[in-house]
Amino acid sequence: MLERLFQLRAHNTNVRTEILAGVTTFLAMAYILFVNPSILGETGMDKGAIFVATCLAAAIGSATMGLIANYPIALAPGMGLNAFFTYTVVLHMGHTWQVALGAVFLSAVMFFLLSIFRIREWIVNSIPLPLRSAIAAGIGLFLALIALHNAGIVVDNPATLVGMGDLKQPSVILATLGFFLIVGLESLNVRGAVLIGILAVTVASIAMGVTPFGGIVSMPPSLAPTFLQLDIAGALDVGLISVIFAFLFVDLFDNSGTLIAVAKRAGLMGKDGHMPKMGRALIADSTAAMAGSLLGTSTTTSYIESAAGVSAGGRTGLTAIVVAVLFLLALFFAPLAGSVPAFATAPALLFVAVLMASGLAEINWDDVTEAAPVVVTALAMPLTYSIANGIAFGFIAWTAVKLISGRHRDLNPALVILSILFVIKLGWFNA
């Protein structure tokens, strides 16, 4: 049955290898089980329900990817998108988490339609590669600011906006050591380095009496506090259009980049450089995002950590199915997730920020018409506390700089139209 479903021989793999690859991918991305409830919980959502929603969304997304596209790519609520959901849409803009879930659902529906009608390629190709790298790097810097704040290293200061916290606090010291541990283990190619870092800080914190211990295993918490609580009507408000597009754009670029990167590493790319069954993979992703919003979590997307499983030999959707099963088993570890303090997940956020900021290395810094919009995009996200604002400023800056410098060939109709819409949006909000 497995041979018929996943074509193991054709992909030069076997069941044992696929299971090992699935376990490897799960260990590499399991940190989301602790990080997602920590971030989304700040909106007032029930953390137990978020934990269950995270497990189920990851299981549904990974299983759908494995069965529909037969790719060794796992899915879960995306980093950066969960931070945008909490810190920008809810805490900064003042919308309820129910409305934010509605925006996630609408963006997922749009993503699904774009995948069905194959408009995705047109949109992605209309956005210059430097801007795509800048968006990823900007999200990384945004996560870094959140991580440093959660660790207590950066605090608010009325005179200078931000300042340095009390570095003698146990939470600060533990978070710092946790980050060093994750980086060190990752450099040694230790599987599950991020997960080990989170658990090490948590154990040390409990042992020192800094935080309480809630247990390890229990029956899963109730999903009722978040299940089907999304407010789609509220998300249709004019002021949330940019938010919906921000969810859509970030998921679109992040997902496309992840799929291509993992497919290349797995040797699944076609001879023409295109990814076979890309449409199916995108449909699986958008379906998972819709399911996640119904369950009660931010946008579900493909994880670059899937590359860890590919490195272990994963070549088919069976790898993703194994990940899905492991996320279902993780449902019974909710007490452990509840015992993880925010400063224990801060090192993981900072490490993810490091990985995302690496896209800046691809920028041609000798071309100021490229470098300037990139810097504007990357800095605007953490400094305005909004991924949507960073995307808007980046599009506007790119279009304006290229027009003034006479580089009209670097523009396209979609880019210009989006820039004009962003100008109207920002002007309306500032009026």
Tell me the pTM. 0.75
Phi and psi based region of residue 301 (left: phi greater than 0; alpha: psi -120 to 50; beta: remaining): beta
String of b and e for 340-360 (b: at least 16 CB within 10 Å)?
Answer: bbbbbbbbbbbbbbeebbebb
For residues 242 and 392, the answer to whether their CB atoms sit within 8 Å is yes
**What is the four-CA torsion angle of 367, 368, 374, 375, rounded to 10 degrees?**
140
Looking at residue 183, its pLDDT comes to 92
**What is the four-CA torsion angle of 403, 409, 415, 421, rounded to 10 degrees?**
30
Let me know the angle formed at the C-alpha of 390 by 132 and 133, rounded to the nearest 5 degrees. 20
Looking at residue 427, its pLDDT comes to 67
Task: Report the C-alpha gap between 106 and 40 in whole angstroms.
Answer: 19
Looking at residue 115, its pLDDT comes to 78
Residue 346's nearest CA partner among 184, 198, 212 is 198
Q: How many CB atoms lie within 10 A of CB 415?
A: 18
String of b and e for 87-106 (b: at least 16 CB within 10 Å)?
Answer: bbbbeebebebbbbbbbbbb
Q: How many CB atoms lie within 10 A of CB 273?
A: 8
Looking at residue 430, its pLDDT comes to 46
Task: Report the C-alpha gap between 282 and 120 in whole angstroms.
Answer: 9
> Alpha carbon 7 to chain centroid distance?
30
Looking at residue 431, its pLDDT comes to 39
Looking at residue 181, its pLDDT comes to 94
- For the stretch 232-279, pLDDT in tens is 888 887 667 878 887 887 777 677 767 766 776 667 666 655 667 777
Looking at residue 398, its pLDDT comes to 92
Q: Token digits for 219?
A: 């029956």
Q: Which stretches of the chain score pLDDT less than 50?
A: 429-431
| Length of the chain measured in residues | 431
Looking at residue 273, its pLDDT comes to 53
Task: Report the C-alpha gap between 124 and 420 in whole angstroms.
Answer: 18
- For the stretch 16-49, pLDDT in tens is 888 888 887 887 788 888 889 988 999 999 988 9
Looking at residue 270, its pLDDT comes to 63
**What is the four-CA torsion angle of 368, 370, 375, 381, rounded to 10 degrees?**
160
Q: Token digits for 36?
A: 């997602």
What is the DSSP secondary-structure string of 246-289?
HHHHHHHHHHHHHHHHHHHHHT---TTS--TTHHHHHHHHHHHH
